Amino acid sequence: MTMNGEGVEDGNGWAFEYDPDAEWVLGDMPPDQRAEVERIAVGLVDLASLGLDPKDGKLADDANPMRLRTYEDERMLLWYQTIPHRRRVYLKRINL
């Protein structure tokens, strides 16, 4: 996994972006938590570039591939959307 910032494409042309913007999605989140969100986002981009979703398997097998998805771990719940034709993972909302 390479550490790409928002909008920085990986070797396959994939990137993540905040939607509508970082301030709305992250709000007043502390820098260490922001870094954790970006680490997760880069992982989601890595999976999407391979055509995979962390919970549901192959993106190509999904009847609605652009649906709102969730990723959760013990620290946060992240809502995101994968748009294959744009090669983007859009981060929509974060709950701690």
Residue 87, pLDDT > 50, answer yes
Predicted confidence (pLDDT) per residue in 45-54, tens digit:
999 999 998 8
CB 88 within 8 A of CB 16: yes
The reported pLDDT for the residue numbered 63 is 84
The domain locations on the chain are 15-95
Residue 1, pLDDT > 50, answer no
The pTM of this model reads 0.91
Which has the higher per-residue pLDDT, 89 or 5? 89
Amino acid at 83: I
Residues 83, 32: Cα–Cα separation, whole Å: 27
Written as six digits, the tokens of 12 are: 């396959």
Looking at domain 15-95, its CATH class is alpha beta
* Confidence category of residue 3, pLDDT binned at 50, 70, 90: low
